[in-house]
Structure 1
Amino acid sequence: MNIMVSGVRILPAHLKKVHIFVAAVLFACIGFSLPASAGQVEPLPNASWGRLLTEFVSDGRVDYERLKQHPDLLQESIREFAGISRQIYGAWDRKTQIAFWINAYNLFTIKAVVDQYPPKGWNLLYPKVSIRQIGGVWDKTAYRTAGQVVSLDQIEHAILRGVFKEPRAHFALVCASLGCPPLSSIPYEGETLEPMLDQQAQKYISDPEHGLRWDAEHRILCLSQIFSWFGKDFFYYFTVHQLFQDLPPGKSDALNFIWEHIPDELKKSLTEGAFRIEYMDYDWSLNDLHSS
C-alpha cells in the first residue's frame, strides 16, 4: 500500500531500495539530457533560503522555535524550490546541481523539524528531542522540486551518493543533529562549491568532539560514525594516496581522505606504528540553538 504524506505519494518501506535506485536513474537522465544555452540558465533558488540561513542559523545551529513562530521565509523557500522545473535543473552544470541538492536537503530537513517542533517521541534509543523521534522523516515524507517528488533519503543516497558520487557532501548535509557537521549560514553555489565543501570537511575533521580525536597515549584514532557508515564513498582518495593498504576497504578509503585534512604532526604519528580505529557515539540531539 502506498502512503500519502502532505499530498505526496510515497512507496512503503519494503520498496525503499528499489525506489532509491529508480530515483538515481531518473535524475541521472534529467541531469544530463536537458542542455540549454547560457542565456537560459536560471540561478539557484537561494534568495529566501539565504535570508533564512542568515536570520535563523547561528554557529551551525537553528533557531527552530523562532522559525516556527515566524515561518514566512521557510514557506517562501519551499515554494521557490518547488518552482524549479526539470528544464531549469537540467540547464545547470554539475557543480550547480550538487549545490542545489545540498541546499534542498538542508531546507527540507529544517521544514520537517519545524513542522513537528519540538520533536518528542518514545523511541528510547535516541534523545527525547531529536529528529529520530519523527517517524518517516527520511523515507516517507517527500518534497516537490526539480519536477519530481523526492524524499531526504533519495536526495542523499540516490542523487548525491549515487548519481554524483560526491563524498564531501557528507560534510554539508545536516540531519538536524549535533553529531552532524554544523549547518552553513550561507547557501551553497556552484561557483563556490569546491572551497565550501573542503572547508566543511576541514571544520568537521578538526572537531575532536564530533569529527576526529587522536588518543596518542593509547594510539587510538576516534572517528565520526560518518566514516564508518560511508567509508567506501571515499574510495577515490585511496586511489590518489594509496596509504593504509593493510586496512580493509572503507577504513582505508576514509583515512586517505582524512589524510588531506589533518596536521603534519598527526600524519607523522599515524605512520610511526600500529593504531586502532574506533568510532564515536553519534549525537542525535537536535541541533537547536536553544539546547544546551
Structure 2
Amino acid sequence: MDSIANVSPVSHPKRFSSPTEQLAYWINAYNASVLTGITDAYPVSSVKDIRLFNGFFNRQKWTVGGQELTLNNIENDIIRTQFNDPRVHFVLNCGAMSCPPLENRAFTGRSLEKRLEKALKRFISNEHFFTLSGNQLYLSKIIDWYRNDFATKNRFTNPNNPDMDPLISYFIPYVSQPVEDRLRSPTLKVQFHEYDWSLNSQPIPSVS
C-alpha cells in the first residue's frame, strides 16, 4: 500500500502514460485497499461488519497518490466514470463471496486487455454468476446494480428480437452457439442471484 499511497496517475501522470496503465493502477488500488481493510479488521465474517451502514465503502478513506479516497470514490468517480469499461466489474473484488475472486497478481497496462477478457469468460463459466435454467437467465446481482454500464456497451444486436434485454446481448459474443441460441429466445427472462456478503474465499478458476 505504500507505493499506492504515494504514487498515482494523478500525482505522477508521466508514470502512467496510457489509459490502460491508469486503469490497471486504479483496479490494483481498489483491490489492495479492500484486502488491507479486511486484514486490518480480521476476524470478521463480512465486509459489512467492518463499519456500520456500508461505511467500509462510503466513509473509510485510503491515501491514494496523496489523495484521501473512499472505495466508492475509486470505483464510481474514477474507474467507472473515467474509463467506461464494464469488464472492470469482473476484476474488482469487494471482499464478498458474491464478488469475482481476487486475482493473485497485480494488473499491468500491458496485459490488462487480455486479463479483462479472461475475467469476463470466467464470469460466464461460473454458475454462481451466470446460470441458464429453462427460460431463465440468472446473473450476478452486480450486473443488476451496474446495468447501465453494460447497457451502454452493447456488443450485439438481435434483428429477430430487437427488444432483447441489453444485459443478455452484452454476453452474446462470449458464449457457445447452443447457449447463444437460448439467449436469443424472446421468452428468456433475466433474474438475479441473491448477493452473499460473507467473506470471499473462492478459488480462481482457470480459463483457456
Q: Common fold, TM-score beyond 0.5?
A: yes
The question of 1:213 aligning with 2:138 is answered no
> How far apart, CA to CA, are the structure 2 residues paired with 1:134 and 1:87?
29
* Matching residue of 2:170: 257
The question of 1:228 aligning with 2:139 is answered no
The question of 1:159 aligning with 2:78 is answered yes
The question of 1:83 aligning with 2:1 is answered no
> How far apart, CA to CA, are the structure 2 residues paired with 1:104 and 1:228?
24
1:37-186 superposed matches below 5 A: 78-84=1-7, 86-89=10-13, 91-92=15-16, 93-119=18-44, 129-135=45-51, 136-186=55-105
* Matching residue of 1:126: none
Higher helix share: 1
Q: Cα offset for 1:273?
A: 4.2
* Matching residue of 1:192: 111
> How far apart, CA to CA, are the structure 2 residues paired with 1:274 and 1:90?
51
Q: Cα offset for 1:145?
A: 1.6
* Matching residue of 1:284: 197
> How far apart, CA to CA, are the structure 2 residues paired with 1:193 and 1:155?
18
- How many equivalent pairs are there? 195
Q: Cα offset for 1:242?
A: 2.3
The answer on whether the counterparts of 2:150 and 2:167 sit within 8 Å (CA) in structure 1 is yes
The answer on whether the counterparts of 1:109 and 1:176 sit within 8 Å (CA) in structure 2 is yes
Q: Who wins on radius of gyration, i.e. which is larger? A: 1
Runs of 4+ more than 3 Å apart: none
The answer on whether the counterparts of 2:172 and 2:183 sit within 8 Å (CA) in structure 1 is no
What is the SS of the residue equivalent to 1:173? coil
TM value normalised by structure 1:
0.63
The answer on whether the counterparts of 1:172 and 1:181 sit within 8 Å (CA) in structure 2 is yes
Alignment deviations for residues 238-264 of structure 1 (CA, whole Å, 9 cap, x no partner)? 2x42235315xxxx3322221122211
Name the % identity: 29
* Matching residue of 1:241: 156
**Any unmatched runs of 5+ in structure 2?**
203-208
The answer on whether the counterparts of 2:4 and 2:64 sit within 8 Å (CA) in structure 1 is yes
| Aligned residues: CA RMSD | 1.7
> How far apart, CA to CA, are the structure 1 residues paired with 2:11 and 2:67?
12
> How far apart, CA to CA, are the structure 2 residues paired with 1:257 and 1:224?
14
Give the partner amino acid of 2:142.
I
**Any unmatched runs of 5+ in structure 1?**
1-77, 120-128
The answer on whether the counterparts of 2:97 and 2:196 sit within 8 Å (CA) in structure 1 is yes
Q: Cα offset for 1:140?
A: 1.0
> How far apart, CA to CA, are the structure 1 residues paired with 2:15 and 2:48?
36
